[in-house]
Amino acid sequence: MIGKMYGKQFVPYQVVWEITLKCNLKCIHCGSSAGRKRPEELSTKEAMKLCKDLAEIGSKQVCLMGGEPFLRKDWYQLGKEIKDLGMDLLMISNGYAVDRDILSKLSRLEIYGLSFSLDGAESSTHDYIRGVKGSFDRVIKAISMSREYDLPITVITTVNRLNLKDLPRLRDFLINRDIAWQIQVAMPQGRFSRDLLISKEEFYALGLFIANLRRKYSVKELPVIGAHCFGYFSKYIPHLGLSKQWAGCQAGLSILSIKSNGDIIGCLTLPDDFIEGNIRDISVVEIWESEDSFAYNRKFKEDTLGENCRKCKYGGVCRGGCTGVSVSLTGEPHNDPYCFYAIERERGF
């Protein structure tokens, strides 16, 4: 089903919330160019009100990220409010500042999922990508400590040409550790240079790598998924996400994203042109329920497909792949060139 409905309205089941842009690392692939916090970040009072509004429009999961979310002093207060309102809490961290006090608080919150970014199998690769020496040792320590608190851990690896070779060793590190693995591809946004983008051939090989992992290892041994940037409708590679089949970009349909200054956008990978409004001017409830919001997805028609997807027989269902990838590579939505099916057709297999 394209989008999830409650009555006549779309429901933002999943919310991704950048609670601060402040960060203690300098990642070369950061699409947000994180470092210093935004000058107009939401106050605690504004953020707490936003939590209530998210519950009002039916949100079920809220993922807090940054920047580095643990650098925002009121993160625990926000997390507790999210939980008290009946929503699941997830967080994404680089692990650099994580200590036992933070982990103890996460345990008390009964966090639904805690993700750590791990972009290399050794310090030389990870530290270079992350821009700070010692960041590899810090995240490995954070992962190890988190397991002591019995927290549900996911490792997120963002793939580029520098760390593609590290994936087999990362696999070996993660097997039988009760840690999930999410693999995604860096795109030319923010600080990331297009020169480090993996090629279509490497992208397809990466898809085969993930598919083979899913065939070889049970969910208990190594739960692994490819992020939304992987697909679509391949003859040989099964869908690599959590669902059985790709049903198009869900930004503005069942997914909502929030910037730390209160800007509302369908997905944080999208540029500012896609901002729907700011909660200081109009509530997130009004933005979400407006018939004019998220028009690129809510009012999608096949004739809006870009050149890469216009003649594809799956265009109406796929809707042109990942909007973030499509816009970053082609400047428009519904035109994702990093597509397994398209690559197979181009290569004649």
Whether the per-residue pLDDT at 249 is higher than 50: the answer is: yes
Residue 129 within a domain: yes
Does a structural domain hold residue 8? Answer: no
Which of 53, 52, 51 lies closest to 19 in space, CA to CA? 51
Q: Is residue 320 included in any domain, yes or no?
A: no
Band of the pLDDT at 245, cuts 50, 70, 90?
confident
In a domain, 327, yes or no: no
Residue 330 lies in a domain: no
Any idea what the Cα angle at residue 232 is, between residues 229 and 235, rounded to 5°?
140
- Percent of the chain's residues with pLDDT above 70: 98
pLDDT at 3: 44
What CATH number does the domain containing 187 carry? 3.20.20.70
Domain tally, the chain: 1
Q: Looking at the domain assignment, is residue 93 inside a domain?
A: yes
Any domain includes 316:
no
Handedness of CA 301, 305, 310, 314 (dihedral sign): negative
pLDDT digits (tens, 9 = 90+) for 91-131: 999 999 999 999 999 999 999 999 999 999 999 999 999 99
Q: Read off the pLDDT of residues 68-79 as tens digits, 9 standing for 90 and up.
A: 999 999 999 999
User: In the structure, what pLDDT confidence band is assigned to residue 319 with cuts at 50, 70 and 90?
Assistant: very high
> Residue 276 is part of which domain span?
14-293
- The confidence score (pLDDT) of residue 152 equals 98
What pLDDT was estimated at residue 157? 99
Residue with tokens 């320590």: 141
Task: With respect to residue 190, please indicate whether it lies within any of the assigned structural domains.
Answer: yes
Mean pLDDT of the chain: 95
Average pLDDT for 48-66: 98
Residue 207 has pLDDT above 80, yes or no: yes
